[in-house]
């Protein structure tokens, strides 16, 4: 992720401010199959906050045998700066500071449509959230990390102060003079789908087949190299053991013939030879 600054608010950030790896939403990492990334954290400049893509399952779609499905998680980075797969999802995310410096805090919130996946018991609206209608998903090709289809579904809400009014018999209203109340009100539901075109998918399929074959050859060579290394280590150990065994045998023979050599030296010494001659 590159440094970011908003032209509407004094909000600024840089990649050193985060405790985890952030992506910019334009490029994504290679995921592997099975995936080696449970989460992908993406900094969203429209909200001045990171959002989390969390691995959900592997499916077969668009002619690909394996695509990794990730779902959107609205994790509050201020409460869980690690931004890992264990971070709980927030009911709503305050994005006021990103939209305007003049709006009071806790005024504009980001949620999923119909508060999908959240506790909506505090509302008096009969929401019926559904995965197929209200969840945001993105499908990645695992070898290249290419997003094949993205379905973004979010909802903007206001948590405004509303003055209480008194309804007159003629239908007019007057201020009640009592304290205003907060009302969490949905404003806009955004539903956007982006799919890679057929020509690009066809090219990507060809590329993934080639990469899979290269990966298979690479893994086969790794196994072969491992076997060669294992056999080489065994051979080295055997050679070392044979050398040590040969040395031990030589030392044993040297010790065995040492007394005979000593007796031979004594017989051949001049003093011993003179004594034998006098006798």
pLDDT tens readout for residues 127-175: 777 788 889 999 999 988 999 999 999 999 998 888 877 888 887 888 7
Please indicate, yes or no, if residue 70 is contained in any of the structural domains.
Answer: yes
Residue 261 falls inside a structural domain: yes
Q: What pLDDT does residue 124 have?
A: 52
How confident is residue 1, by pLDDT bands cut at 50, 70 and 90?
very low
Model confidence over 21-64: pLDDT tens digits?
Answer: 888 888 898 898 888 999 999 988 888 888 999 999 999 999 89
User: Has residue 275 been placed in a domain?
Assistant: no
pLDDT at 71: 96
Helix 270-278 to helix 198-268 angle, to the nearest 10 degrees? 30
User: Which of the pair, 106 or 270, is modelled with greater confidence?
Assistant: 106
Residue 277 tokens, joined = 């001659």
Question: How far apart are alpha carbons 182 and 46 in whole angstroms?
Answer: 25
DSSP 3-state of 30: coil
What pLDDT, on a 0 to 100 scale, did the predictor assign at position 276?
46
Strand partners, 151: 137, 193
Q: Tell me: do 153 and 253 sit in the same domain.
A: no
- Do 189 and 214 have their domain in common? no
Which of residues 196, 211, 231 is at a domain's end?
A: 196
How many whole angstroms separate alpha carbon 65 and alpha carbon 212? 12
Round to whole Å and give the CA distance between 93 and 2.
Answer: 23
Model confidence at 264: pLDDT above 60 = no
pLDDT over 90 (residue 262): no
Residue closest to 180 by CA, chosen among 205, 195, 160: 160
- pLDDT value, residue 125: 62
Question: Domain check: are 117 and 30 in the same one?
Answer: yes
Residue range 101-123, pLDDT digits in tens: 788 888 899 999 887 777 655 55
Q: Judge whether 44 lies within some domain.
A: yes
Q: Are residues 69 and 102 in the same domain?
A: yes
Predicted pLDDT of residue 263: 56
Domain membership of residue 29 as a residue range: 4-196
CA atoms in the 13 A half-sphere facing the CB of 159: 14
**Burial class of residue 139 (count of CB atoms within 10 Å of its CB; 0-12, 13-18, 19+):** buried
Q: What angle do CA 186, 166, 107 make, to 5 degrees?
A: 30
Tally of domains within the chain: 2
In this structure, the answer to whether residues 222 and 171 fall within a common structural domain is: no
| Assigned token pair, 153 | 């579904």
State whether the Cα torsion 224-229-230-236 is positive or negative. positive
> Which pLDDT band, with edges at 50, 70 and 90, does 3 fall under?
low
- pLDDT per position as a tens digit, 179-197: 888 888 888 989 999 999 9
**The pLDDT of residue 218:** 63
Of the residues 168, 196, 224, which one is the last residue of a structural domain? Answer: 196
């Amino acid at each position: 992720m590159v440094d970011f600054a908003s032209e509407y608010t004094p909000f600024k950030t840089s990649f050193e401010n985060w405790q985890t790896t952030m992506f910019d939403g334009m490029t994504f990492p290679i995921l592997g199959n099975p995936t080696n990334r449970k989460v992908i954290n993406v900094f969203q400049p429209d909200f001045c906050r990171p959002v989390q893509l969390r691995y959900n399952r592997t499916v077969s779609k668009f002619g690909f045998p394996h695509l990794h499905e990730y779902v959107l998680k609205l994790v509050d980075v201020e409460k869980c700066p690690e931004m890992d797969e264990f971070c709980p999802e927030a009911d709503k995310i305050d994005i006021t500071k990103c939209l305007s410096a003049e709006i009071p805090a806790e005024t504009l919130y980001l949620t999923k449509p119909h508060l999908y996946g959240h506790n909506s018991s505090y509302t008096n609206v009969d929401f019926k959230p559904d995965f197929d209608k209200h969840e945001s998903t993105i499908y990645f090709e695992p070898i290249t990390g290419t997003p094949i289809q993205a379905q973004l579904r979010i909802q903007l809400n206001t948590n405004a102060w509303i003055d209480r009014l008194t309804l007159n018999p003629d239908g007019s209203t007057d201020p009640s003079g009592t304290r205003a109340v907060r009302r969490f009100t949905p404003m806009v539901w955004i539903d956007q789908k982006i799919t890679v075109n057929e020509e690009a998918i066809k090219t990507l399929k060809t590329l993934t087949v080639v990469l899979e074959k290269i990966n298979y050859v690479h893994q086969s060579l790794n196994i072969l190299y491992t076997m060669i290394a294992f056999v080489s280590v065994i051979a080295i150990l055997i050679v070392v053991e044979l050398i040590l065994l040969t040395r031990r045998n030589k030392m044993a023979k040297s010790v065995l013939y040492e007394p005979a050599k000593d007796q031979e030296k004594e017989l051949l010494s001049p003093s011993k030879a003179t004594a034998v001659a006098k006798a």
